Amino acid sequence: MWHMARKVFLGIRIDPELKTMLEEIGEGETRSVSQICEFLLKKGVDAYKKEGPKYFKRSASHHKKQTSQ
């Protein structure tokens, strides 16, 4: 029987500004950037599971409005 690792690596590229914000959150919460990212990703996935594609469309639309201002 195969033994599965508890955690797996996920490498992504993000804007430096976003990384700085994640580091600041981590410092404020006394947590690592990895822990903060995992928490936020889990919350996003849970919301997507609950609302489906509507969640992504609404969130993407909101993000687009913020970045165009």
- Ranges of each domain in the chain: 24-68
pLDDT of residue 54: 87
Alpha-carbon radius of gyration of the chain: 15
Mean pLDDT computed over 20-37: 97
Is 8's pLDDT higher than 80? yes
- Give the end-to-end CA distance of the chain in Å, rounded to a whole number: 54
Q: Helix 33-51 to helix 53-68 angle, to the nearest 10 degrees?
A: 120
Torsion sign (Cα): 47, 52, 53, 58: negative
Q: What is the pTM of this model?
A: 0.73
**pLDDT tier for residue 34 given thresholds of 50, 70 and 90:** very high
Residue among 33, 35, 36, 55 nearest 45 (CA): 55
Model confidence at 23: pLDDT above 90: yes
